Amino acid sequence: MLITPNPCTPEGKAIVNLADQMDALQRRAGEWPGADTATIVEQWLRSFSFEPSGDLPQRVTGRVWMLRQWDRHGEDVTLWSDEASARAALAHEVRKSWDNVGGVEEVPFRPPTDDREAVDLYYGPDGCAHEDEGYSLHVADISRIDGERLSISLADPEGSARANSAALFHPIEGPDDEGLPCIEIAGVLVFAYLDAERQAVRIDVHLDTADEQLVRADGTIPIRIEVEDDTVCSIGATAPAPAHACGACEPDLADVPEQSVTTEGLSTGVDHTQEHTII
């Protein structure tokens, strides 16, 4: 199928320009000499940019503390989930080498029990008091490239498995962080945390950001909650195939002891436009 270039677009205008140059060459030389043709095509190609435009579609999925240590023998880089763990590991290494600095100038013979103080005395406040060894510690983002959108169906085991493998965990920065630890899967946010006010382990399920592929025609999302082996909530979930010839039936919400089910947030169903506390 032949393509007609549109001179109103930059691409189409460039193609028309190339055709004009080749026609002019044909009129001058009666043919397309190889050297002249190569020169025209080279200059024409240089008018294009083949660099990708925009940034990669990426998102931050977590943070990590990067500890780098070096001495005259080489360097070592390790990753830690929090600053305290990184400093504890660094302080452990410092105490193993304390004889190198103990008793020198104002450094005590015995290392302090406080990790930060031990590290600062050994390496100095800036981390490089010694010419041939030092350390650096900083936080870095963990990013992921978001590729093509996943095809998700609750009836498709393979699609569900792909969505499960792409789940994200969003930790909090520390005790002073006002957020809550959260698992994100197919846009569904599940918060699990200790609620001191209610003196209970609390689980919140937020469905307002759920992938639209999970939403049924009636605007709801099937949901099932289990604690250990007990079903405490099952709304719209499909019953599994019978396990035995006698036909094992799906546990019904009515069979669950009343005290084990928190109805807060369930009175409105599981409409994905709402936020719900399931347990």
User: In the prediction, which pLDDT does 254 show?
Assistant: 46
pLDDT confidence tier of residue 2, bands split at 50, 70 and 90:
confident
User: In the prediction, which pLDDT does 236 show?
Assistant: 85
Looking at 96-100, 228-232, 238-242, which range is the least confident one? 238-242
Q: Find the mean pLDDT for residues 211-216.
A: 91
Q: Find the mean pLDDT for residues 164-172.
A: 88
Of residues 58 and 4, more confidence is placed in: 4
- When mean pLDDT is compared over 50-54, 147-151, 180-184, the highest value belongs to 180-184
Q: Find the mean pLDDT for residues 241-254.
A: 50
pLDDT confidence tier of residue 176, bands split at 50, 70 and 90:
confident
Residues of the chain above pLDDT 90, percent:
48
Q: Where are the domains of the chain?
A: 10-45, 59-141, 148-276
User: In the prediction, which pLDDT does 270 show?
Assistant: 36
pTM beyond 0.85, yes or no:
no
User: In the prediction, which pLDDT does 243 show?
Assistant: 58
Reply yes or no on whether the pLDDT at 179 is more than 70.
yes
What does residue 79 show for φ and ψ, rounded to 5 degrees?
-115, 140
Residue 120 Cα distances to 25, 67, 69, 99, 114, angstroms: 75, 15, 14, 15, 10
Q: Find the mean pLDDT for residues 217-223.
A: 90
Tokens encoding 118: 């031990």
pLDDT confidence tier of residue 129, bands split at 50, 70 and 90:
low
**Total H helices, total E strands in the chain:** 5, 10
What is the full DSSP assignment across 209-273?
T--GGG--TTSB--EEEEETTEEEEEESPPPPPPSSTT-PPPPPGGGS-GGG---TTTTTTTBTT
Tens of pLDDT along 70-113? Answer: 988 899 999 998 899 999 999 999 999 999 888 888 889 999 99
User: In the prediction, which pLDDT does 257 show?
Assistant: 41
Q: Find the mean pLDDT for residues 243-258.
A: 46
Q: What is the overall mean pLDDT for the chain?
A: 83
User: In the prediction, which pLDDT does 173 show?
Assistant: 78
Residues of the chain above pLDDT 70, percent:
85
- Residue 250, Cβ density class (10 Å: 0-12 exposed, 13-18 middle, ≥19 buried): middle
User: In the prediction, which pLDDT does 74 show?
Assistant: 92
Q: Find the mean pLDDT for residues 32-46.
A: 94
Reply yes or no on whether the pLDDT at 17 is more than 90.
yes
User: In the prediction, which pLDDT does 59 show?
Assistant: 78
